[in-house]
Structure 1
Amino acid sequence: MIPFVAISLLALATLVQGSLFTDPTKLPATSYDFIIIGAGTAGSVIATRLSEDSSVRVLVVEAGISDSEGPTSDIQVPFLVSKALPSTVYDWNYTTVPQTGLNGRQLFYPRGFVVGGCSTVNFMGFTRGSSDEYDRIARVSGDSGWSWKNIFKYALKGEQHVDDVDDPDTAGRFNPAVHGHGPLKTSLAGFPTAAVDARVINTTQELKEFPFNLDMNSGNPLGVGWLQSTIDKNVRSSSATAYLHPALKTGTNIDVLIHSRVSRVLQTGTKDGLPVFLGVEITQSRNSHTLKLTARTEVILAAGAIGTPQILMLSGIGGKSELSRIGVKPLVDLPDVGKNMHDHPYITLAWAVNNTNTIDSISFNQTAFQQALAQYDANGTGVFASNALFNQLGFFRLQNASGVTQKFGDPTAGPLSPHYEFALSNGFLGAAQRPPTSGNFFSSAVILVSPTSRGSVVLNSSSIFDPPTIDPAFFTTAFDIAAMTEAIRSLQRFVSGSPWKSYLGLQWLPDGLNTSTDAQIENYVRSSAISVNHACCTAMISEDGANGGVVGSDLRVKGTSGLRIVDASILPNVPGAHPQAEIYIIAERAADLIKQSSRIRY
């Protein structure tokens, strides 16, 4: 019998026959209507939507590997989600500079080096964020089209909620009215854990601080609700599997080039006094020849919050003095390129439990692990078919009694936007701590989703093969440490509710750390926090006539013609959510903006 996983991956490989290239010299053309740089979350959406007009020719250039290469079960099997990153063939393998706010620690900084980008390797959490987030983009850009009221149709266009393979009974766990019929599939946790699930829900009924939220994708995420993951019944749903592969299967007007880096976008002329960037320079290694390709209509940068500013700066688009220092000729002076980097830091807390029905019983037991994998391989069911990390999430605002916002101000987008998040797990979760090798645990990640610390992405050299300097600058503001301290206090209140009293044992703590006093909590945070990998804002949007920012309201790069950006780098703030959902929505609207300006059919 061919295992279930093998059948799924064989199907994926079949979809890309004939349109997937690994050698740029084998491309059927050197000129396309649109060249999209990056086959990630946004790039795959843009390519697919533009290809809906059969007269349009689209090329997608991806630096990474195909999602049918490597140990593919690590990116397709939901239970194995944490194996995709870091330091794998699917990862850019970036590291940050030493973080002054984290006791000088240098962090791994994973990004997807694969078709589908981070949507192929992330933890699959699907949360759109509050309506406030989109209204803030509308305010910052001066374009009401980005507001929740006007953009919600794109949320429905892109996503469809489906039943999980193991548990189709979804009554009381989500609201069908706020979901659509799009290509991206989402589903609820299909492997319920009675010991934890009931306690979480009962806590929402007992403690008013933690209300139940039927569906946090309604525009109001506040409260505790059931996690929705980008899982199509029992396999990951990514921008590659949901958008790009079907487009390749049904159309003949998309070419995808992988294993190839865009070293620069090239000026090809001037228009209305602006430099036109319709050229793309491609290379595959430090010593290989470069190949020039040309777009007839637009070049669309979708290389992500690290790759996009790096390519812009290598192309001479960025801060004039910074580019000159690195040996790059400045062409367009945009000082905000690579600035304003924004990301979510998180820590985890864990407690021993008096129950063996936790994920640990599979993770720490090789026999049980292999039995669960065999069940999945046989028929696609069981714990391996579900997102094993979390069943519930919670988004919350700081209480007025904490005094944090009164002292530092409120950085969120509005009253429906959270300051912090819980990701509640029936098993051990670790951040920077060395995990145990036995036992059973309840854990929660505590994520600061409204940080005020801002970092940067800066060139190290004039070569695309030298990683840029990445500095998310975690916990470099007083607000951030105060807000995270209060978030941890909030989690401690959550687990002090009566549903947990007979279940939780001792808190699991690394040697020398504690979370009793504020000073101990701060030390715990600075010693163990890491990134949740939500980098944003390094080419942020602003009003068309504003001096700051990198793109205008229609995502065209300021001071240029023919060049647009569609990815997480354009956001003005990291959203109080898992950004992939917002990126899908932004990409859907951006595709229509491109179609309208190019007068192609949609």
Structure 2
Amino acid sequence: MVSSRGLTLIVPFALATAVSSAALDAATFAQTPFDFIVAGGGTAGVAVAVRLSEIANVTVGIIEAGTFNADDPRLNIPQGTNTAGLFTNDLYSWNFYTTPQAKLAGRSLFMARGKLLGGSSAINLLGVALAGAVEYDQIGQLGNPGWSYENTLKYFKRATNMSVAPKELQEETAATFSYKFHGASGPIKTSFASWYSKATPPFYKALVQLGFAPVRDGGNGLDAGSVWNPPLAIDQDTKTRSYSGNGYYLPNAGRRNLYLLTNAQVIKVNLSNTPDASGNYTATGVTYVSNGITYTASVKKDVIVSGGSVQSPQILELSGIGNKELLTKVGVKPIIDLPGVGENYQDHIITTSSIKIPSTIETWDVFANPGPNATAFEQ
């Protein structure tokens, strides 16, 4: 086990761009005394770090393996399914693939994972949607006190700032929501798209005719059986992507107790040499690599592992926390035997259908037309 003063694991089930004075080089970061170090500056990691830095008398450090190019139009301009090639861009994506899947004819599937400050929230398809209430409730039922739909909803609301769609858009595309499920002053700006395919209204009506319940807001806890128009992480004032990097970090980059290190990958959580009388180990810091050089940074309180659903388990296993038989097999000394680490990964899958409709209806095919695309990009 690891004491509460030691390792904390968070796995998300989530100004101008002048460089902050708190953005450090790898060597200086290693010499800085921290109360908290967040290993992974992704969707959740940045949010957690910024929230912790609200406590004035603590020092917080973020270590992110990727970069932070806050002015890159490929990140900022919402481009829908086009994604500006971000999914496979080596600068912004880990370009992970699964192992061959036996029940998919041996195929390996691509896994989009963001590699930059803000993580996957900087490269995703912009959708802002809550899972069904049963899914959050089950996290608590598995032995995690405080996890439930009702309890987590207040944090989702605190994170978002939802814009009301124009009346005509509400009528045409069901672009409706309720502040019962969305925030009004959070750092992540959310809104509805201003352009929809002409196929959207008839598709929506067809689903209703097939028995799906039309709901005003899909954040209502229903797990299935309804149809609704999901909002997007788009700032309607600037028409740009709103994500963890520019929503949480940039406005707070000048905080004197918040430090950022980019282009550095955490490879290990350092634990105390021996357990205490209760058998608990304490996280003392992290080991990270930057430009081929290995560094160690120390903490007084907690290390927060926030590498996402794929790399949080990886960091733990490299630290000796996981299935001792597996760790021994790959040459990692087991320290804490937790067989569940790295197991039972599940992802939501997607399948698409192509439907032939009259050419008089404007669809997403317009994205392939260089003329309108160039005009929209300039706008």
* TM-score (normalizing by structure 1): 0.56
Q: Is the contact between residue 316 and residue 328 of structure 1 (CA under 8 Å) also seen in structure 2?
A: yes
What amino acid maps onto 2:123 in structure 1?
V
| Residue among 16, 20, 27 paired with 1:17 | 20
- Alpha-carbon deviation of 1:210? 1.7
Please name the residue that 2:279 is paired with.
273
Once residues 204 and 364 of structure 2 are traced to their aligned partners in structure 1, the CA distance between those partners, rounded to angstroms, is 22
Residues 150/347 of structure 1: CA separation in 2 closer, same or farther (3 Å cut): closer
- Alpha-carbon deviation of 1:361? 4.9
**Greater CA deviation, 57-66 or 98-107?**
98-107
The percent identity for this pair of structures is: 31
Once residues 109 and 60 of structure 1 are traced to their aligned partners in structure 2, the CA distance between those partners, rounded to angstroms, is 24
Residues 28/246 of structure 1: CA separation in 2 closer, same or farther (3 Å cut): farther
Please name the residue that 2:347 is paired with.
343
Q: Is the contact between residue 86 and residue 108 of structure 1 (CA under 8 Å) also seen in structure 2?
A: no
Once residues 46 and 124 of structure 2 are traced to their aligned partners in structure 1, the CA distance between those partners, rounded to angstroms, is 16
Q: Which one has the largest radius of gyration? A: 1
Matched, 1:160 2:166: no
| Residue among 300, 321, 340 paired with 2:304 | 300
Residues 347/150 of structure 1: CA separation in 2 closer, same or farther (3 Å cut): closer
Please name the residue that 1:239 is paired with.
244
Residues 336/19 of structure 1: CA separation in 2 closer, same or farther (3 Å cut): same
- Alpha-carbon deviation of 1:306? 1.5
Matched, 1:177 2:183: no
Residues 221/214 of structure 1: CA separation in 2 closer, same or farther (3 Å cut): farther
Please name the residue that 2:256 is paired with.
252
Residues 309/221 of structure 1: CA separation in 2 closer, same or farther (3 Å cut): closer
Once residues 163 and 60 of structure 1 are traced to their aligned partners in structure 2, the CA distance between those partners, rounded to angstroms, is 34
Please name the residue that 2:97 is paired with.
95
Residues 294/167 of structure 1: CA separation in 2 closer, same or farther (3 Å cut): farther
Query: What root-mean-square deviation, in Å, do the aligned CA atoms of Structure 1 and Structure 2 show?
Result: 2.2
- Alpha-carbon deviation of 1:151? 2.9
Please name the residue that 1:59 is paired with.
61
Please name the residue that 2:51 is paired with.
49
Please name the residue that 2:130 is paired with.
128
Q: Deviations over 1:263-317 (max 9, x none)?
A: 21112354343121222111124xx332111010000000111211111111111
**Correspondence list, 1:358-507, <5 A:** 358-374=362-378, 376=379
Unmatched 5+ stretches in structure 2: 1-14
- Alpha-carbon deviation of 1:152? 2.4
Q: Deviations over 1:456-497 (max 9, x none)?
A: xxxxxxxxxxxxxxxxxxxxxxxxxxxxxxxxxxxxxxxxxx
- Alpha-carbon deviation of 1:348? 1.0
Q: Is the contact between residue 215 and residue 221 of structure 1 (CA under 8 Å) also seen in structure 2?
A: no
Once residues 223 and 192 of structure 2 are traced to their aligned partners in structure 1, the CA distance between those partners, rounded to angstroms, is 16
Q: Deviations over 1:343-380 (max 9, x none)?
A: 12222111122135534453222122212222x2xxxx
Partner SS for 1:243: helix
Once residues 264 and 188 of structure 1 are traced to their aligned partners in structure 2, the CA distance between those partners, rounded to angstroms, is 41
Once residues 121 and 61 of structure 2 are traced to their aligned partners in structure 1, the CA distance between those partners, rounded to angstroms, is 20
Once residues 103 and 55 of structure 2 are traced to their aligned partners in structure 1, the CA distance between those partners, rounded to angstroms, is 50
Q: Is the contact between residue 189 and residue 227 of structure 1 (CA under 8 Å) also seen in structure 2?
A: no
Partner SS for 2:139: helix
* TM-score (normalizing by structure 2): 0.87
**Correspondence list, 1:480-559, <5 A:** none
Please name the residue that 2:76 is paired with.
76
Please name the residue that 2:5 is paired with.
none
- Alpha-carbon deviation of 1:130? 1.5
**Greater CA deviation, 332-341 or 85-94?**
85-94
What amino acid maps onto 1:290 in structure 2?
T
Please name the residue that 2:3 is paired with.
none
- Alpha-carbon deviation of 1:218? 1.8
Q: Is the contact between residue 133 and residue 223 of structure 2 (CA under 8 Å) also seen in structure 1?
A: no
Please name the residue that 1:206 is paired with.
209
Partner SS for 1:349: coil
Partner SS for 1:84: helix
Matched, 1:197 2:200: yes
Partner SS for 2:88: coil
Which structure has more RCO (C-alpha within 8 Å, separation ≥ 6)?
2
Q: Aligned residue pairs: how many?
A: 354
Please name the residue that 2:231 is paired with.
228
Q: Is the contact between residue 317 and residue 331 of structure 1 (CA under 8 Å) also seen in structure 2?
A: yes
Partner SS for 2:137: helix
- Alpha-carbon deviation of 1:63? 0.5
Q: Deviations over 1:156-202 (max 9, x none)?
A: 212121146x8885476222332223211211121133x32321333
Please name the residue that 1:576 is paired with.
none
Q: Is the contact between residue 208 and residue 227 of structure 2 (CA under 8 Å) also seen in structure 1?
A: no
What amino acid maps onto 1:320 in structure 2?
K
Unmatched 5+ stretches in structure 1: 1-10, 377-602
| Residue among 137, 140, 143 paired with 2:142 | 140
Q: Deviations over 1:198-248 (max 9, x none)?
A: 2133324533x2221110012225411112111111111111111121121
What amino acid maps onto 1:76 in structure 2?
N
| Residue among 20, 31, 34 paired with 2:33 | 31
Once residues 41 and 167 of structure 2 are traced to their aligned partners in structure 1, the CA distance between those partners, rounded to angstroms, is 32
